[in-house]
Amino acid sequence: MPPRKRATGQGELPGMSSTKQIQDILWKAADKLRGSMDAAQYKEFVLGLVFLKYVSDAFAERRAQIAEELTDMPEDRRAEFLDERDEYTAENVFWVPEIARWDYLVENAPNGVGVLLDDAMDAVMRENPPLVGVLPKIFNRDNVDQKRLKELVDLISDARFTGHGERSAQDVLGEVYEYFLEKFARAEGKRAGEFYTPASVVKLIVEILEPYEGRVYDPCCGSGGMFVQAGKFVAAHAGRDHTHDIAVYGQEANERTWRLAKMNLAIHGMDPKGIGDRWADTFAEDKHPDMRADFILANPPFNMSDWARKETDPRWRYGVPPQGNANYAWLQHMVSKLGDRGSAGVVLANGSMASKLSGEGEIRRTMVENDLVACMVTLPSNLFRTTAIPACLWFLTKDKSPQGARALADRRGEILFIDARGLGTMIDRTERILTDVDLGKIADTYHTWRGTKSAKTKGLSYHNVPGFCYTATLDEVAARDYVLTPGQYVGAAQVEENDSAEPLADRIERLTKQLFSNFEEAARLENAVRHQIGRIDV
């Protein structure tokens, strides 16, 4: 999305909140409702209000810009232009009816804030078709404490999404929205897996696939994090003007999460129509039956046992997945959606790399023999706050050839294995992240192996690194019974020889003497303690 025009001289305005201040204000707002409803419900409450505040601020900002541009126009004609809808929508600003503008809501809140908010949500959706059915109308219910809700509105009033120098309201809200998703994920724990994938994992998949243009698909899109990161990648590497070079498609089975995704895409200037007009289960009701994607990015539920399995489904070209685990259903679904030169990055549980239960080994063998697997990456532990299950990344493609003018390395009949378990940094006692250095190391390894333009630009070339990466032929994989665990291939890391290091025999002799000396000291101390105890008169 191109940056919106800004009023002349508009800089960081006095009294306006920084992004950090906005985050703090809004998290306090969440706490206002935390005690009166469950985490999933207050997430919808707060994010819905944040979105409404954003569209109102962005609308007011654009209105002020229009007014400034019309200062030389007679006042009677100026009003006409101020209410010209195209002046807003052309700049990717949602049209906000008067009853949904934040000043109106604050002014009239004492008369019944719940009714006002539901009416405001309804009015915004009615005036903006991409938002139909997306915004929550849950504020005027018997279980909602209207006094707390009024306090919540007052608190959110202190947040300003506009007036942040060159950063648009959209940029600021995008950061705030992502901050909230992460905070809610931490608060909800295991349940958060429905809507949140750790940011560093999402970024790694995007950095490897490099989705500059084309159709980007996620069949279990959660709150839309994969799409948002793809858009950020394009903006960072090709410029914000090129973010519309990708078109996003996907679906989500959970109604609340589907709403979050719709809002998230709208906030980031991406078309929310791509994830359908309704939530739906990908296996039971494929919303994109004719999809041929250029890129697939997905984090499906790990080891899902309760799924809509149909043995005659045409997606099962490589074998019917077992009812007790949908991992290979997801993988085959991704393959069925790939274009002829498309690529997919999929997060799955580590067990998917070696399992032979219920025919999974045979499905994996058939996929390998059809040369669909490009790269396997084992991830470090503790990346996923919502599950202790260790995870890996599958990278799939239908075409490992040089692909003509792209002049890629010919990797037909080969698979790249990367063991990244030793990477990452613990940020607290239980959670690890992949740093930018880690992400660069993994992504550069893949790009040099594949011979992409980005690797050539950096002057990088591929070589196997013991303990980290290895290129295996399909014959080597067959010899290991089609197990795809990188640790089986990369070997042990080389240990640098140190000429000044103590010879092994000398070290053993020294440590043995030290051990016996410790035994003697322990015996001496034991005798001293016994002697002292014997002197005690009972």
CATH code for the domain of 196: 3.40.50.150
What are 355-388's pLDDT values in tens digits? 999 999 999 999 999 999 999 999 999 898 767 7
Do 102 and 70 lie in a common domain?
yes
Same domain, 294 and 201: yes
**Cα dihedral across residues 476, 477, 483, 484: positive or negative:** positive
Residue 348 lies in a domain: yes
pLDDT of residue 11: 35
Instruction: Note whether 222 and 179 are same-domain residues.
Output: no
**Structural domain includes residue 6:** no
Identify whether residues 171 and 212 lie together within a single domain. no
State the CATH number of the domain containing residue 41: 1.20.1260.30
E strand or H helix at 339 = strand 338-349
What does the pLDDT read at residue 30?
67
Same domain, 393 and 297: yes
| 165: confidence class by pLDDT, cuts 50, 70, 90 | low
Q: Are the beta carbons of 50 and 26 closer than 8 angstroms?
A: yes
Top-confidence residue, 184 or 538: 184
Instruction: State the burial class of residue 511 (Cβ atoms within 10 Å of its Cβ: 0-12, 13-18, 19+).
Output: exposed
Neighbours of 418 (CB within 10 A): 27
Higher local confidence (pLDDT), 173 or 486? 486
Is residue 507, in this structure, part of any structural domain at all?
A: no
**Residues 227 and 372 occupy one common structural domain:** yes
Looking at the DSSP bridge assignments, the partners of residue 453 are none
Give the number of other CB atoms < 10 A from CB of residue 120: 26
Where among 187, 210, 240 does a domain terminate?
A: 187
Q: Is residue 252 part of a domain?
A: yes
160 SS3 class: coil
Q: How sure is the predictor about 8, in pLDDT bands with cuts at 50, 70 and 90?
A: very low
Q: Are residues 411 and 315 in the same domain?
A: yes
Q: Hey, is 367 helix, strand or coil? A: helix
Query: Of the candidates 242, 238, 246, 193, which has an alpha carbon nearest to the alpha carbon of residue 220?
Result: 193
- Answer whether 393's CB lies under 8 Å from 346's CB: yes
- DSSP at 401: S
For residue 327, CA distances in Å to 161, 363, 397, 415 come to 41, 11, 17, 20
Domain boundary among 169, 187, 205: 187
Q: Are residues 197 and 262 both part of a single domain?
A: yes
Whether residues 198 and 283 fall in one domain: yes
Residue 527 located in a structural domain: no
Residue 268 lies in a domain: yes
Q: Tell whether 265 is covered by a domain.
A: yes
Query: 166 with 203, same domain?
Result: no
Number of domains in the chain: 2
- CA-CA distance, 338 to 399, in Å (whole number)? 10
Same domain, 150 and 273: no
Q: Both tokens of residue 149?
A: 């809700």
Strand ranges in 350-504 using DSSP code E only, listed in sequence order:
373-378, 391-397, 414-419, 425-426, 432-433, 469-473
For residue 245, being part of any structural domain is answered with yes
Domain residues for the domain of 471 are 189-490
Q: Are residues 171 and 296 in the same domain?
A: no
Q: What percent of the chain has pLDDT over 90?
A: 52
Average pLDDT over residues 274-284: 94
* Mean pLDDT value of segment 324-343: 97
